[in-house]
A and B are shown apart, each in its own frame.
Chain A
Amino acid sequence: MKRHLISAADLSRDDALLILDTADELAKISERSIKKLPTLRGRTVVNLFFEDSTRTRISFEAAAKRLSADVINFSAKGSSVSKGESLKDTALTLEAMGADAVVIRHGASGAPHRLAGWVRGSVVNAGDGTHEHPTQALLDAFTMRRRLGPLDGRKVTIVGDVLHSRVARSNVLLLNTLGAEVTLVAPPTLLPVTVDSWPCEVSYDLDSVLPKSDVVMMLRVQRERMNAAFFPTEREYSRRYGLDRDRVAKMHDEAIVMHPGPMNRGMEIAAEVADSPRSTIVEQVANGVTTRMAVLYLLLGGADLGGEIQ
């Protein structure tokens, strides 16, 4: 494994499988009465969140604490893009505190790359702008593997605002690494113009893709996209790209429905679909802790890889 986890592209197939296999072992820990391991005792993990994301933060926090790491939550919301200088100053502060790992969520794409040049510890990307969210992709892959077995040749359909989705970018990269076949479904306005260079298929027609999908992953639609004329109305979006009962009926019996959350019930996904047995949405949350434990263990559980500061 590399020193940082910034992009899903940082992971080789062996790396990704090692993380998933490690998570499989660690999943058992959460079934025990004592859910804590001494492995990262004395190590410091900083959760550096420039954006509100309570779900992701507490997931990383639980993962670090179950491995006995010291956790420092550093909420830097407000010091966002307009005061860019603060990122470097913050990095120097963390460096002085001796952070062994920094988990960063930032509104600007590439912020973790910049941070990695300024701190010695490992940098874990917990979502950067519209770029990537690699641990989300890992927990999604973990969830799929638990339900469906190995992912080679499995057909995964990702539906929604791919253009602005860090979840989609990381999933396309990781699933491709793991041998799955990904199809992106979205209105053309919500796909990058160069999406044909991505290692996946693209379709504008959800109904034609559903019958052959093993996994259908719905992305959250940001309501502000509507004002920027990416699509005419919520109603039209929902009708063409929303997952309702009728559409689920076209899926085969074992196929699962995923959503990274938080959901817009009734918009991209109908409530009855979200709550159905096909849905893995609650599992995804639990698996998030396990997968992040695996990532933190593999990054911090061994010898110091000796990073350099730029």
Chain B
Amino acid sequence: MVFSLADAISHAHSGARAVLEGPDINRALVRISHEILERTKGAEDIVLLGIPTRGVHLARRLAACIKQFEGRSVPVGSLDVTMYRDDLRLRPARALGRTELPADGIDGRIVVLVDDVLYSGRTVRSALDALNDLGRPQAVQLAALVDRGHRELPIRADYVGKNLPTSKSEIVKVYLEENDGRDAVLLLKEDDK
């Protein structure tokens, strides 16, 4: 399915507001890559783990940036947290995403979790639990494209693409080329969803 941003804005999301467009997202990812390199002193020991679905695409883009700047490949994987969620009972059972760890695993590494939107913090909490069952990293850090606030757990991001003040009735939608045919971050009113 090819998603057209113009269509989305004119029809389904008449009240939607684009808060980031394609070039903004690129700039944010470039900046985060630099910050990771800086904070991890060259990203020697890091593993980027994206949380499906869009977090995985973002992790791959970050890895590509790092490769461009430093000429070194950083291991990338995906970490599905579905089975660790605390809200499973609120909705019908959902299909699982993929969990793929790099061949060398995560023991002793600095794991950077990558997600598209940081909101309540519950997904990240699930991810920390999942990591616990998979190995023992040296440290865990968090990168999010958008931090929209309203945390319900003592969790914060180490790298943020954009801090986006929202009300709880609003919805943040992230569209990525790999998944949706177009890069954009939209802010929707609840009744527009």
Contact = CB atoms under 8 A, between A and B. Distances in A.
A241 to B, nearest CB: 40
Given A34-B133, A302-B89, A304-B89, A39 B83 contact: yes
Among B89, B90, B93, B133, residue most surrounded by chain A Cβ atoms (within 10 Å):
B93
29 contacts: A1-B93, A22-B96, A25-B96, A25-B97, A25-B98, A32-B133, A34-B133, A37-B83, A37-B84, A37-B133, A38-B84, A39-B88, A67-B83, A297-B83, A297-B93, A298-B93, A299-B93, A301-B88, A301-B93, A301-B94, A302-B88, A302-B89, A302-B92, A302-B93, A303-B89, A303-B91, A303-B92, A304-B89, A305-B92
Contacts of B45: none
Contact of B94 (A38, A302, A305): A302
Given A1-B93, A21-B96, A37-B83, 18 more contacts: A18-B95, A25-B96, A25-B98, A25-B99, A26-B96, A28-B99, A32-B133, A34-B134, A36-B133, A37-B84, A37-B133, A39-B84, A299-B93, A302-B88, A302-B92, A302-B93, A303-B89, A304-B89
B80 interface: yes
A25 B84 contact: no
Interface string B97-129: 111000000000000000000000000000001
A191 B88 CA distance: 44
Interface residues of B, number: 18
B87 to A, nearest CB: 10
**Secondary structure type dominating chain B contacts:** loop
Contacts of B134: 32, 34
**Secondary structure type dominating chain A contacts:** loop
A42 to B, nearest CB: 9
Interface in B31-81: 80
B69 to A, nearest CB: 33
Contacts of A300: 93
A22 to B, nearest CB: 5
Nearest to A68: B83
